[in-house]
Amino acid sequence: MESLPTWRLDDLYADLDDPKIAGDLAAVAAEAEAFGARWEGRIEALDGDGLAELLGAYSALLSRMYRPQMFASLSASTDALDEAVKALSARVNEQATAIGNALRFVDVALANASPEAHARWAASPACAGLLHHLQRARAARPHTLDAAVESALATKDLTGRRAWSRLYDELCAAWRFDFTVEGETQSLNLAALRSLREDPDRAVRRRASEAILTRFSEHAPTFAYIVNTLYQDHKLETALRRYTDVAGPTLLDDELPRATLDALLTAVEAHYPVAQRFFAAKARALGLPRLESHDLLAPFPGGDRLVSWAEARAEVLGAFGALDPEIEADARAFFDDRRIDARPRPGKRDGAFCAGMVPGVAPRVLVNFHGRLRDVYTLAHELGHGVHFTLAGKAQRLLNYWPTSPMAETASVFGEMVLTRRLLARETDPDVRRQLLAARIEEALGTIHRQVAFTRYELNAHLARARANLSTDDLSALWSAESERLYGDAVQRGALDRWGWVGIPHLVHYRFYCYSYAFGQLLVFALYRLWEQEGEAFVPKYKRLLASGGCDTPASLLAALGIDITDPSFWARGLDVVTEMVDAFVAEEGAAGE
């Protein structure tokens, strides 16, 4: 394959030994101390001008602290095995935690400020761009502890919650599997073995799947211990912070009422039969009486054609260009400025991400490009994020820059939709068209239905853990109950499938993050509908939405496009798009069978 690009990071620092890294950290640490001496204890009494000055200085310090952090974390993502990178990451993280602690009083003081102080700031023109930040702080007030306690909790998290989460990663990363394909035995890691669950050969898929689940079952007691500890930690912290809802911290961060989460979960669960209809049709397409769980990711016959990097780039930019020239130009800049790392290599992490950085520092994209059609979709997805950050970076300052999690996947998934539109418009081969459709359906079921099943499992597991320690069987029973609801009779599950809960990192690293994928995907279906209906008129509204970053709540940002996320039928409308795709697939499948 042609040579694939790696990224440049030299706008941040020249290399790992750049003395400016330590210099910046030391300077920020000293300034953070001076900042604390100047402002700590004074915030409540500030007028609007004073508060704007304080938050300006605070943002500047945060931005400067993020630079070494971003450099270390981006370096680690392509060179995880390098000792110098590990040492840098550890050093930077320790110092950044200390600086974060020195600055924490700002958030705490804003959250604990009196209603009179908030009213004074809200009325001041100097604070006009800070209203949403202040509103978030006000909402956090009932759950914020004293500055000293907040610092102690954040510090202890390094050896508590975060250490358990890292142990989970390290255990999984250390696994090797001796696996034989076509007479040749290889030592594979978990990610490589997982990818064999998409092999065209059913026996390979079954063996790969069984090897993974067997390993999960062998280590289940350790993982159950990690899960129990983390969920207990969550329970203690939510109690300390006076939350009554186990999902309270997530919903506060995401600025959504619990009713919106419940409406989303209920609507998707009611849609499980449509997913089952697709699984039955997929079984017919594969010539199977019924799917077994290791067939869920099976490819469709017809084969995947290989795509070069140059083609992938042209497809994605062409698709983005059909939406808007500025969006295309912002995506193109990632290629031109060498802000994409696409070459797979030892020590580089799996998967893909877009690092949003801070306003004024250009975002980066990491992918592992193998030339499959799916890799083109991943590129469109991550560049969608990249455009989102670029537009928000032009319009917002730091405190309003980051979109909240439920909004974070908007541009990425929209990027995939416009890519599908371009590919379908040109494709005439019915087999390829059917594959494109199936890939979109599977993507939708994976991000909507499966993530909702994860979220329901996570909610139930947290509630059960609040009552008592959970055995491996307890966790497996909760897991199997949600699989049963999602797959029903359409997918035959084996005895080992009950260990699936071991293998979902999001349920270890985060709390209730998975629902936001479903939120994002359904939201994008609704937005895509609007684009189809309104054409050109939709585009400026969409770009304003992206440029808004996190400057307002999801409900208000979307209200500007006529979308009401508190209306339960909103989710049903998004799900209609999935139903239509499944109907189209089933119809083509029926026609192909005649």
**Residue placing its CB nearer to Zn ion in the complex, 443 or 588:** 443
Q: How many CA atoms lie within 13 A of 445 on its CB side?
A: 23
Residue 279: burial class (beta carbons within 10 Å; 0-12, 13-18, 19+):
buried
**Residue placing its CB nearer to Zn ion in the complex, 298 or 376:** 376
CB of 411 to Zn ion, least distance (A): 9
Q: What string marks each residue from 360 to 399 as x (binds Zn ion by CB under 5 A) or -?
A: ----------------------------------------
The Cα 333–Cα 136 span in angstroms is 33
The tokens describing 112, both together, are 């604990």
Q: Are strands 184-188 and 177-181 parallel, antiparallel or unpaired?
A: antiparallel
CB of 366 to Zn ion, least distance (A): 12
Instruction: Kindly state the number of chain residues that form the binding site for Zn ion, as judged by CB under 5 A.
Output: 1
If you write DSSP's letter for every residue of 37-93 in order, what string do you get?
HHHTTTGGG--HHHHHHHHHHHHHHHHHHHHHHHHHHHHHHH-TT-HHHHHHHHHHH
412 part of the interface to Zn ion, by CB under 5 A: yes
**Residue placing its CB nearer to Zn ion in the complex, 89 or 516:** 516
Q: Where are the alpha helices (DSSP H) in 196-246?
A: 202-240
Instruction: Give the number of other Cβ atoms within 10 Å of residue 108's Cβ.
Output: 21
Closest residue (Cβ) to Zn ion? 412
**Residue placing its CB nearer to Zn ion in the complex, 151 or 412:** 412
Residue span binding Zn ion (CB under 5 A) among the ranges 280-288, 404-412, 461-469, 526-534: 404-412
CB of 340 to Zn ion, least distance (A): 15
**Residue placing its CB nearer to Zn ion in the complex, 78 or 412:** 412
For residue 178, list its beta bridge partners: 187
Task: Kindly state the DSSP code that residue 125 receives in the 8-state scheme.
Answer: G
Residue span binding Zn ion (CB under 5 A) among the ranges 128-136, 147-155, 405-413, 463-471: 405-413
Q: Which residue has the tokens 């943002």?
A: 59
Which H or E run contains 353? strand 353-355
Q: Are strands 340-341 and 177-181 parallel, antiparallel or unpaired?
A: unpaired
Kindly give, in sequence order, each residue whose CB lies less than 8 Å from that of residue 583, ignoring residues fewer than 6 positions away: none
- Let me know how many helices (H) and strands (E) the chain has, helices first: 25, 7
238 part of the interface to Zn ion, by CB under 5 A: no
- Amino acid present at 372: R
Residue span binding Zn ion (CB under 5 A) among the ranges 68-76, 408-416, 561-569, 586-594: 408-416
Residue 15: burial class (beta carbons within 10 Å; 0-12, 13-18, 19+):
exposed
410 part of the interface to Zn ion, by CB under 5 A: no
**Residue placing its CB nearer to Zn ion in the complex, 412 or 455:** 412
CB of 169 to Zn ion, least distance (A): 19
Residue span binding Zn ion (CB under 5 A) among the ranges 179-187, 211-219, 333-341, 407-415: 407-415
CB of 235 to Zn ion, least distance (A): 29
Residue span binding Zn ion (CB under 5 A) among the ranges 158-166, 192-200, 412-420, 492-500: 412-420
**Angle, CA of 584, 586 and 589, to the nearest 5°:** 110
**Residue placing its CB nearer to Zn ion in the complex, 412 or 548:** 412
Residue span binding Zn ion (CB under 5 A) among the ranges 320-328, 409-417, 436-444, 469-477: 409-417
**Residue placing its CB nearer to Zn ion in the complex, 59 or 412:** 412
CB of 159 to Zn ion, least distance (A): 30
**Residue placing its CB nearer to Zn ion in the complex, 260 or 521:** 521
Residue span binding Zn ion (CB under 5 A) among the ranges 78-86, 358-366, 411-419, 469-477: 411-419
CB of 310 to Zn ion, least distance (A): 24
Residue span binding Zn ion (CB under 5 A) among the ranges 73-81, 97-105, 201-209, 406-414: 406-414
**Residue placing its CB nearer to Zn ion in the complex, 312 or 383:** 383
Q: Which residue has the tokens 């295309």?
A: 328
**Residue placing its CB nearer to Zn ion in the complex, 225 or 353:** 353
* 354 and 385 Cβ atoms separated by less than 8 Å: yes
Q: Which residue has the tokens 């142990």?
A: 167
C-alpha R_g of the chain: 24
| CA-wise closest residue to 333 among 388, 397, 403, 383 | 383
The tokens describing 140, both together, are 């956090």
CB of 76 to Zn ion, least distance (A): 20
Near Zn ion in 536-565, by CB under 5 A: none
**Residue placing its CB nearer to Zn ion in the complex, 396 or 410:** 410
The Cα 128–Cα 501 span in angstroms is 46
Q: How many CA atoms lie within 13 A of 134 on its CB side?
A: 25
CB of 385 to Zn ion, least distance (A): 6
Binding residues for Zn ion, rule: CB under 5 A, are 412
